[in-house]
Amino acid sequence: MMRCAPLLSVLLVSLAVQQVSAQKKPQLAPRPNAPVAKQEILKLTGNKEAELSKDVQILWLYGPEDHRGGEHDYIRIKELFVPMLKTVPRVAVDEAFRFPSQAQFDKADVLIQFLHMPDLTAEQLQMYKSFVERGGGVVSIHESCIMRPAKRAGQYAECIGCSWKGNKESKWSKFDHSYPLFLNTKHPAFVGLPKSIRFNDESYWNLITRDNVEAIGALAPQSLESKVPFSDVLKSEDARSHAFWTYQSGKGRVFGTTTGHYTYTYFDPMYRLLLMRGLAWTLNEDPAPFMPLVSQGITNDKGLVGTTDSMLDYKNRKR
């Protein structure tokens, strides 16, 4: 019995350390931001009536939902945004499940993707790369940057600029208001926006990054808010870069983000603003025609925009 005492002591100490560690790193509770007065949103969106300079064909790519309700709701978000996008004059929208056909690629001006990307074949990867290089735009959201197996991820990064390296190298984490999203407001997609915005969501970092990728949004501790230049944020050891990025290949433009885990985030006007500004940038268009979508369907009778619902009671669907 005496020989077991040292081992027992080690086990007890180990358990105590785990308990303390768990207390120091509590799980971040999903929580939407408080709704914002519409007048405050209009200061950023403007109220200008404008029309796109050309007809735009959007292709929305989605996949089977793979988390609990309220997270990675690929189908639900598709069903939210596709009808809204169709209200924008000169916009038509098609849908693809898991991967587009060549005919859909040929017809599309921009691909919006929100799904866990399936393992693409060499032919599919070439189809995608050719779409971007000939001038197609891409808006890539959250887990859309992940394609397994990781050994083929480098080829996928040639299409959208960034991709998941694998679980041993790339990182992911929830974040809250203690880790603001810092924006490069000198970039055309984010010009005129606040230098930092707060969300309660999730992001990835340490991604494969191709040439011509520019990080335009990064998560970092709020203590860095006194440092004005965005370049200082990126240099921080604690920064989670490529929360938002842009990439140009051939004639095409890609706007990507690793945020957008929770469904309630898509009901946040500031997040919608970032996505719509990115969409306009990929199309090289004035963002004004997309600005009504920032508050569409989420403005209450008190003039507040957003939601207080965490939306975790939703049931996932395979299709």
Output the average pLDDT for the chain: 91
pTM of structure: 0.91
The pLDDT score that the predictor gives to residue 133 is: 98
**Percent share of the chain, pLDDT over 90:** 82
Identify the CA nearest to 272 among candidates 62, 68, 38, 95.
Answer: 38
pLDDT tops 60 at residue 282: yes
Range with the poorest average pLDDT among 22-36, 86-100, 117-131, 286-300: 22-36
The pLDDT-based confidence of 26 (bands split at 50, 70, 90) is: low
pLDDT tops 80 at residue 24: no
According to DSSP, the residues that pair with 19 across neighbouring strands are: none
Name the token pair of 234: 């990126």
pLDDT tops 50 at residue 22: no
Residue pair 74/114 in contact by the 8 Å Cβ criterion: yes
Count the neighbouring beta carbons within 10 Å of the beta carbon of residue 91: 19
Residue pair 62/115 in contact by the 8 Å Cβ criterion: yes
- Residues 256-265: what's their mean pLDDT? 98
pLDDT tops 90 at residue 10: no
